[in-house]
Amino acid sequence: MRIEVTIFPYRQDSAELFETIAHLPWAAFLDSCHPYSEQGRYDILSADPRSVLITQGEQTRILGSGGSMSLSTDDPFQLVSDALGTIQPGVQDLPFCGGAIGYFGYDLGRRLESLPSLAEDREQLPEMAVGIYDWALVVDHQQQRSWLVGQSTARLERLRQQLLSAGEPAAKPASHSPYRVLGEISSNMNRDEYLASLSKIKQYILDGDCYQVNFSQRFSVSAKGDPWQAYKGLRQLNAAPFAAYLNTPNCQIMSSSPERFLQLRNGLVESKPIKGTAPRAEDPIEDKMLAEMLKNSPKDQAENLMIVDLLRNDLGKVCATGSVSVPELFKLESFARVHHLVSKVCGKLATGENALSLLRACFPGGSITGAPKLRAMEIIEELEPHRRGIYCGSIGYISFDGDMDTNIAIRTMVHAQGITRLWAGGGIVADSDSEAEYQETCHKASALLDLLRRKEQINAEYG
């Protein structure tokens, strides 16, 4: 497989480029939110994959070129690995040279663990949707350079001309339509119900069932129009380095995630779990005070450390003995609406393991389950009224050269069947202040909720 690489004119905002392909089948935009975020570097844009894998329940549909279709009950992670084929030489300095892009939903964890079926699956979306893409536009904002990579010279030239038309009126699809919110935003539980569930979680902790449980509420609202228009607003209001927009036949995903789940580069693994949150303040002095309080909070540090230990254990399943380390602990990182405590857990992938076995060993991420993972997931299933679906799963890529980068799908909206849904949660430990935990979910969801509450203004301001 020969990979063609051509230099492409750099643009500061990749959203202008993606607009030219956003209407294509399975369009995918892995977005560092430049120029609105200082923390991101690479953007990856692609569409029209050569094959797709869609897992729902025990079955995976594999759709190939020419309309071919096959079904499999094999492990979905292994199926993606098989679809990628033998690891190929990469392209120097490029994180992605074609490969898999898509999502692995939280409930894909049911293929790995035996869990009860208590929460309602309102969305009925696939647990996994991954395309195998043989081309991509890769943008490096640090070097201010872009490359078009792919396997077909003729196709790359057509795509090059299409992308070069960015900004021209003819480049926008005729189906472009405003995104409109049609009613009031509602949660799947009120404050009292949320606090009652937290009381049950604390009792489980006191009984010794678990140490921490990540508990969330879900917001939803009727909406119509083009979700891409909403995403353009979201990336300005809540810029994040691991953001993404995915356009699948079943749903559109708008993620402004600040959290890296797993990165694999040349056999080296990095995870950056987030645990510990404080709101931002407009006043600089108050904002600094809130940040310092979070940084020095024993409760938040303990919460973070529990997840670091869980991740060390997960990485230990597939990393070389003695290679797992924690080079950063409780580092303060600030985003548009919140401050976070972020740690870094690293390792060296063991011989015989690959990106998909790494993802499988750590899935779903411990920062959005709790510890121990299986018991926390059982409690989540018991107390959250609805299945999480894509929320708290992972979005990202696995390149043909074996490298990978994925997020934790938090600060994420999913639009399907005329409904836009979003979630917010937090880690509950023995000494959690229940009212403060409830308010934390509101802080985390604030940018997404603010965007939806603008209703008619969304298209006017960002379209």
Q: Where in the chain are the domains?
A: 4-172+189-462
Cα-Cα-Cα-Cα torsion 438, 439, 440, 441, nearest 10 degrees, comes to 60
CB 189 within 8 A of CB 44: no
**Half-sphere exposure of 11 toward its Cβ, with a 13 Å CA cutoff?**
19
CA distance 64 to 421: 30
Query: Catalytic site residue 232?
Result: no
Q: Which residue has the higher pLDDT, 397 or 153?
A: 397
pTM value is 0.95
CB pairs under 8 A, 24+ apart, for 194-201? 194/438, 194/441, 195/434, 195/435, 195/438, 197/383, 197/384, 198/428, 198/432, 198/434, 198/437, 198/438, 199/434, 200/383, 201/379, 201/383, 201/428
CA distance 173 to 129: 24
* Band of residue 336 on the pLDDT scale cut at 50, 70, 90: confident
CB 156 within 8 A of CB 135: yes
Tokens 């303060």, residue? 332
What percentage of the chain carries pLDDT values higher than 70? Answer: 96
Query: Catalytic site residue 331?
Result: no
Q: Which amino acid belongs to residue 39?
A: Q
Two tokens, residue 124: 């009925």
Q: Which of 227, 245, 244, 256 is nearest to 463 (CA)?
A: 227
- The active-site residue out of 123, 259, 378, 440 is 259
CA distance 407 to 241: 9
**In whole angstroms, how far apart are CA 459 and each of 161, 171, 216, 463?**
27, 18, 29, 4
Q: What is the mean pLDDT of the chain?
A: 93
Q: Is 285 exposed, middle or buried (0-12, 13-18, 19+ CB in 10 A)?
A: exposed
What pLDDT shows up at residue 457? 54
Q: What is the 3-state secondary structure (H, E, C) of 63-86?
A: ECHHHCEEEECCCHHHHHHHHHCC
Residue 354: pLDDT over 90:
yes
Instruction: Render the burial of 84-106: b for 16+ CB within 10 Å, e for the rest.
Output: beeebebbeebbbbbbbbbbbbb
Residue 169: pLDDT over 90:
no
CA distance 361 to 379: 21
pLDDT digits (tens, 9 = 90+) for 80-135: 999 999 999 888 889 999 999 999 999 999 999 999 999 999 999 999 999 999 99
Two tokens, residue 170: 């003819």
Domain 4-172+189-462 bears CATH identifier 3.60.120.10: yes
> How much is the average pLDDT of 200-207?
97
E strands of 208-322, at which residues?
212-224, 242-247, 252-257, 260-265, 268-271, 274-279
* Band of residue 454 on the pLDDT scale cut at 50, 70, 90: confident
Residue 463: pLDDT over 60:
no
Worst-scoring range by mean pLDDT, 82-86, 157-161, 301-305?
A: 157-161
What pLDDT shows up at residue 460? 47
> How much is the average pLDDT of 263-274?
97
- The active-site residue out of 275, 353, 378, 440 is 275
CA distance 124 to 82: 26
